[in-house]
């Protein structure tokens, strides 16, 4: 490349560099050879002087943008310039606002710059001068840190709807997880611990022989890395079991809860469980009555997937104590007036295909992040999925003859979305056991077992899928035994 360009910058370099930044900016403005200007900035100018020149009003923002965008000028040099105090945030915003950049990595470098405030960056992105795909590429670039990206997305100059549009458009990859979990603490569980509701971590680790109990409905874990060497147990937060007929009969088991896991890396060597509760066993009674019906669960499924099994019938001589999807029936008696309650029914939320369900899980986590971490509320949001198992029916009672066991609660539902899955352990979504009959007399009947729950797993790279257990609970025993529940199902998709 000739020096000086077009004879405008006179040799030697020392003479050139004796000029003021504004004088050099005027010369730059008059030069049409952008490759030369980029090479000159790359090789001759100090970071400080380059920042002063690019900040000068003698150089148009468009020309400055063209120089910074030029492939001859490295991203590292542009980064150093944008971090220098001699170029202002307002100037960098005016450069961005020209719309002259073509390299998303250069856009990312400028957005990352210390000199550009999050407020000015957010104001620029709000203006949508570039296509959304260009901004998404910049958000994905390694030149834009997750911390700076999050601060821009959180700024009030960027609307909640615009923030949502950009995050929705990001592919499910490492950078999205970096943004969603930036600033979240790590948790190393070394003793029995209970967490509630939605929980966000950088790295979540559970030590061997230790239980992490996830309470709340639904329970949600968002993390970059989840390493479980112990047990992750979703507390049964599903539909309530039916009430026992009287004291001494068994109450129906509560349905298993819903657990959503949204992580980049999942390494599981023991188990993750969303089982239903067992029905209560009978003992002795001093009165007669019928058990209450179990509460209805909610099943998320794709098409007609039999994701929830059916609860078993409680042993009975009457017309109740019937199992349903997926709660078990309660135990009955030998008197048709005093029967166990029916297992809870189930409401289905149906998706047309696996991709639609995976998209809703992703969007719901992003929307939770926008509202609860960034502090913004889009005009419309996707709620976190909220599946849970049905309750078992309550046991019936017939004084002097029988105290029925309660039906087992239906298994819950696990929704897992991860990039890398290494499961050498177990996932459980089993129905609860039916409660045993008591010892009141000759008609102490067992409750039906809860139907198995289910799981949808979405992952990109599967090292090991592990063992997936979704069986129905066994029926309770007594003078007559309840029937066991049938198993649920599992669906596996890609992202």
**Preceding peptide of 212 cis, ω within 30°:** no
Same domain as 234, residue 365? yes
264: tokens are 């980049």
The DSSP code for 6 is: G
Same domain as 268, residue 149? no
pLDDT in the model for residue 9: 52
- CB within 8 Å of 46: residues ≥ 6 apart: none
325: tokens are 């999807």
5: tokens are 């360009």
CA distance 126 to 301: 37
Reported in sequence order, the residue ranges of 313-412 that DSSP labels E, i.e. its strands, are 346-351, 397-398, 402-403
Give me the mean pLDDT over the 179-197 stretch: 98
Q: Over the stretch 470-495, which tens digit does the pLDDT of each residue have?
A: 999 999 999 999 999 999 988 998 88
Our count of domains for the chain comes to 2
Q: Does residue 45 lie within any of the structural domains?
A: yes
Q: Percent of the chain having pLDDT more than 90?
A: 90
Last residue of some domain: 119, 138, 158?
A: 158
pLDDT in the model for residue 7: 44
Q: Measuring CA to CA, which residue among 304, 389, 395 is closest to residue 344?
A: 389
pLDDT in the model for residue 322: 72
More confident site: 17 or 376: 376
Contact 327/308 with Cβ under 8 angstroms? no
Burial of 191 (C-beta count, 10 Å sphere; 0-12/13-18/19+): exposed
Q: Does residue 182 lie within any of the structural domains?
A: no
* Element spanning 193, H or E: strand 193-206
User: Half-sphere exposure (CA, 13 Å, Cβ side) for 31?
Assistant: 26
Q: Does residue 169 lie within any of the structural domains?
A: no
Last residue of some domain: 140, 158, 176?
A: 158
Q: Over the stretch 302-349, which tens digit does the pLDDT of each residue have?
A: 999 999 999 999 998 766 667 778 888 888 888 889 999 999 999 999
Q: Does residue 60 lie within any of the structural domains?
A: yes
Angle, helix 118-126 to helix 160-169, in steps of 10 degrees = 80
Q: Does residue 174 lie within any of the structural domains?
A: no
Sole residue written with tokens 């950078």: 175
Q: Strand 211-228 and strand 454-464: pairing?
A: unpaired
Burial profile 242-260: b = 16 or more Cβ within 10 angstroms, e = fewer: bbbbbebbbbbbbbbbbbb
Same domain as 368, residue 240? yes
CA distance 169 to 180: 14
Burial of 371 (C-beta count, 10 Å sphere; 0-12/13-18/19+): middle
16 pLDDT above the threshold of 70 = no
3 pLDDT above the threshold of 80 = no
Give me the mean pLDDT over the 110-128 stretch: 98
Q: Does residue 41 lie within any of the structural domains?
A: yes
- CB within 8 Å of 279: residues ≥ 6 apart: 241, 250, 251, 252, 253, 328, 330, 331, 392, 395, 405, 406, 407, 408, 409, 432, 433, 434, 435, 447, 450, 476
CA distance 234 to 211: 10
CA distance 4 to 12: 9
Which residues lie across from 402 on neighbouring strands? Answer: 398
Same domain as 414, residue 350? yes
260 pLDDT above the threshold of 90 = yes
Q: Percent of the chain having pLDDT more than 70?
A: 96
485: tokens are 């529940």
Contact 244/215 with Cβ under 8 angstroms? no
Q: Does residue 199 lie within any of the structural domains?
A: yes
Same domain as 192, residue 147? no
pLDDT in the model for residue 320: 65
Same domain as 371, residue 236? yes
pTM, two decimals, is: 0.94
Q: Over the stretch 415-444, which tens digit does the pLDDT of each residue have?
A: 999 999 999 999 999 999 999 999 999 999
Q: How many helices (H) and strands (E) does the chain have?
A: 14, 15
Distances (CA, A) of 6 to 20, 37, 315: 20, 11, 98
Which of the four pLDDT bands, split at 50, 70 and 90, describes residue 6?
very low
Same domain as 379, residue 242? yes
Helix (H, G, I), strand (E, B) or coil at 260: strand
Angle, helix 34-43 to helix 61-69, in steps of 10 degrees = 70
Q: Over the stretch 234-243, which tens digit does the pLDDT of each residue have?
A: 999 999 999 9
443: tokens are 């008609």
pLDDT in the model for residue 92: 98
CA distance 377 to 368: 9
CA distance 77 to 41: 9
Same domain as 132, residue 210? no
The DSSP code for 406 is: P
Domain of residue 95, residue span: 5-158
261 pLDDT above the threshold of 90 = yes
Same domain as 263, residue 149? no
Which of the four pLDDT bands, split at 50, 70 and 90, describes residue 1?
very low
Average pLDDT, the chain: 94
Burial of 344 (C-beta count, 10 Å sphere; 0-12/13-18/19+): buried
Contact 198/384 with Cβ under 8 angstroms? yes
439: tokens are 């010892």
Same domain as 238, residue 134? no
Helix (H, G, I), strand (E, B) or coil at 149: helix
Give me the mean pLDDT over the 275-299 stretch: 97
Q: Does residue 173 lie within any of the structural domains?
A: no
Which residues lie across from 431 on neighbouring strands? Answer: none
Distances (CA, A) of 216 to 219, 233, 268, 346, 417: 5, 12, 22, 20, 19
CA distance 482 to 477: 6
Same domain as 202, residue 145? no
Same domain as 104, residue 205? no
């Amino acid at each position: 490349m000739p020096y000086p360009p077009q004879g405008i910058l006179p040799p030697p370099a020392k003479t050139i560099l004796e000029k003021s930044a504004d004088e050099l900016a005027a010369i730059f403005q008059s030069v049409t050879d952008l490759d030369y200007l980029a090479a000159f900035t790359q090789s001759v100018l100090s970071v400080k002087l380059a920042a002063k020149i690019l900040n000068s009003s003698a150089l148009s923002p468009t020309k400055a943008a063209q120089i910074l965008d030029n492939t001859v000028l490295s991203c590292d040099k542009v980064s150093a310039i944008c971090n220098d105090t001699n170029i202002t945030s307002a100037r960098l915003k005016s450069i961005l606002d020209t719309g002259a950049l073509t390299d998303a990595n250069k856009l990312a470098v400028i957005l990352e710059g210390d000199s550009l405030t999050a407020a000015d960056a957010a104001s620029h992105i709000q203006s949508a001068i570039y296509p959304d795909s260009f901004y998404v590429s910049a958000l994905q670039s390694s030149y834009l840190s997750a911390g700076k990206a999050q601060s821009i997305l959180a700024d009030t100059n960027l609307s909640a709807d615009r923030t949502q549009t950009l995050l929705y458009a990001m592919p499910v990859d490492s950078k999205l997880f970096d943004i969603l979990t930036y600033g979240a603490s790590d948790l190393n569980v070394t003793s029995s611990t209970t967490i509630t509701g939605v929980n966000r971590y950088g790295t979540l680790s559970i030590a061997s022989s230790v239980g992490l109990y996830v309470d709340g409905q639904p329970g949600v874990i968002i993390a970059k890395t989840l390493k479980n060497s112990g047990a992750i147990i979703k507390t049964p937060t599903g539909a309530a079991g039916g009430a026992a007929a009287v004291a001494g009969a068994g109450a129906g088991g509560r349905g298993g809860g819903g657990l959503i896991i949204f992580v980049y890396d999942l390494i599981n060597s023991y188990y993750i469980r969303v089982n239903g509760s067992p029905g209560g066993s009978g003992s002795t009674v001093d009165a007669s009555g019928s058990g209450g019906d179990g509460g209805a669960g909610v099943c998320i499924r794709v098409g007609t997937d039999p994701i929830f099994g059916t609860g078993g019938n409680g042993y009975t001589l009457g017309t109740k104590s019937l199992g349903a999807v997926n709660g078990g029936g309660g135990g009955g008696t030998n008197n048709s007036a005093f029967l166990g309650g029916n297992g809870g029914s189930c409401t289905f939320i149906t998706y047309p295909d696996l991709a639609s369900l995976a998209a809703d899980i992703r969007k719901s986590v992003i929307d939770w992040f926008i509202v609860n971490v960034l502090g913004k509320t889009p005009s419309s949001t996707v709620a976190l999925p909220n599946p849970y198992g049905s309750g078992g029916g309550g046991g019936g009672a017939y004084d002097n003859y029988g105290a029925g066991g309660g039906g087992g609660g239906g298994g819950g539902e696990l929704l897992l979305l991860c990039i890398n899955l290494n499961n050498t352990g177990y996932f459980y979504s089993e129905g609860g056991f039916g409660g045993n009959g008591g010892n009141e007399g000759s008609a102490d009947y067992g409750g039906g077992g809860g139907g198995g729950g289910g799981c949808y797993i979405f992952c990109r790279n599967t090292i090991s899928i592990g063992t997936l257990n979704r069986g129905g609970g066994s029926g309770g025993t007594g003078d007559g035994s309840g029937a066991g529940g049938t198993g649920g199902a599992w669906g596996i998709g890609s992202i």
